[in-house]
Amino acid sequence: MGRLGVGMTNQLRNDMDAISFKVQRSRGTALGAMIGLKSNEDNTLYGIGFKFYKLIYDEPQLSFYGVGTLAMFNYVKDDTTENGYQLDGGMGSEFHFAGLESIGFSFEFGLSINKVNEQNNFETFGDHIIQAAVHFYL
């Protein structure tokens, strides 16, 4: 199979927009990455994450999958830069419009363990179509 998807996501818990990559290595699994960067004269913020997708159910225009995410990032709190992390596990779906299979729209939901604002959090998440990812497949 070996499809490469390039797009955008806003799944990092520091609310940073990121470029997203997804490589479907086989019909049943895919690997992903997200990279975000924001730099100005005051500070440089980043976010980097990796994802693993496991197909659960497949239809012609829709796939349902399990997903795991591991990410590291930084954020500004009280004029200082702090480090954070996130570990997400959940499920999601990616769909394509008939005749437009090169663009995939995703949504994901599940549980997250993360550190933001110097607090360790355990929370549910639900990322809608624009927030989870939109990929253009080459």
Confidence of residue 106 (pLDDT cuts 50, 70, 90): very high
Whether the Cβ atoms of residue 61 and residue 97 lie closer than 8 Å to each other: yes
Residues 6+ apart with CB under 8 A from 36: 12, 16, 17, 18, 19, 45, 46, 47, 48, 73
What local confidence, expressed as pLDDT, does residue 36 receive?
97
- Reported as a single tens digit per residue, the pLDDT across 121-131 is 999 999 998 78
- Reported as a single tens digit per residue, the pLDDT across 23-77 is 998 889 999 999 999 999 888 999 999 999 999 999 989 999 999 999 999 998 8
> Exposure pattern of 108-133 as b/e (b: 16+ CB <10 Å)?
bbbebebbbeeeeeeeebebeeebbb
Write down the architecture of domain 3-137 according to CATH. Answer: Beta Barrel (2.40)
What local confidence, expressed as pLDDT, does residue 2 receive?
78
Indicate the average pLDDT of the chain: 94
What local confidence, expressed as pLDDT, does residue 137 receive?
94
CA distance 3 to 23: 6
Query: Is the pLDDT assigned to residue 90 strictly greater than 90?
Result: yes
Query: Is the pLDDT assigned to residue 111 strictly greater than 70?
Result: yes
Map out the domains of the chain as residue ranges: 3-137
Query: Is the pLDDT assigned to residue 1 strictly greater than 80?
Result: no
- The DSSP output letter for 14 is T
Confidence of residue 78 (pLDDT cuts 50, 70, 90): confident
CA distance 19 to 63: 22
